[in-house]
Structure 1
């Protein structure tokens, strides 16, 4: 009986100590978005992918495929818009050369494998295609008209 209890306790401790691994690995992310200059992002369901090529922030880090910023809906059912950030790289392809494209205002679709992700609530769940992992999402802190996006 003691062996069974010991085994159950060991199993519980080990299963609780697992950490959720990022879907793309650990790539540095640090980027600021000025909503006064990126005013289009203030509209509901607006999105933009930021990369080294289309920005001029010298200390910025863009993950694997760039940063997809999305103005979506609150998870608590409120009508207030909330900003979400994802890595633009498709987790199934896991390449900086294959980035998702936003379609119908609420989906990100991989042009190579066809995986379709729901980005409206900030989770990035795969809806169709071969992908089984969510889009890598990043922390977004908003102060007034500035978004700070990071993964630490």
Structure 2
């Protein structure tokens, strides 16, 4: 009985420490692979605050994959490229795609009104249901090599 009294506080401590506050995205995993060329068809992305949403309907190569709701590619600050899944995490629908506002700093869900800061590449929510749920836009890896941009997960 004495051993149980000694172990019990340790079990409680272990349980408390193992219960981390995890935030899971509601956007399901889908393959993402894009090769963008800033010299030709994607040269509009060279400008800071420029963006484009890529879907399976508007990609050039057959092997390119655009995730769940499409890929929002953004040329943000400080002169870096970022990529997010274009689906709103609150709506979790491939048909509800965020839109970049006039300032070029925020992406907004047209359905629930969630607003995401995309300017520095974190995609964190600042307003709406996603801010309450702490659901950021799903991010993808961006690699650059000269005028080529490679986006993948």
TM-score tier (shorter): 0.7 to 0.9
Q: Does residue 81 of structure 2 align to residue 98 of structure 1? A: no
Name the counterpart of 1:7. Answer: 12
Aligned residues: 143
Separation in 2 of the partners of 1:20 and 1:113?
A: 19
Name the counterpart of 1:145. Answer: 147
**Cα 1:102–1:29 shift into 2, 3 Å:** same
**Unaligned residue ranges in structure 1 (runs of 5+):** 74-79
8 Å Cα contact 2:25/2:89 also seen in 1? no
The structure with the largest alpha-carbon Rg is 2
Q: How does 1:20-31 map to 2 (within 5 A)?
A: 21-31=24-34
Separation in 1 of the partners of 2:15 and 2:92?
A: 34
Q: Does residue 106 of structure 2 align to residue 107 of structure 1? A: yes
TM-score normalised by length of structure 1? 0.85
Deviation per CA, 1:23-49: give whole Å up to 9, x if none. Answer: 412111111111112111111111100
**Cα 1:43–1:111 shift into 2, 3 Å:** same
**Unaligned residue ranges in structure 2 (runs of 5+):** 1-5
Question: RMSD of the TM alignment (CA)?
Answer: 1.8
Name the counterpart of 1:119. Answer: 118
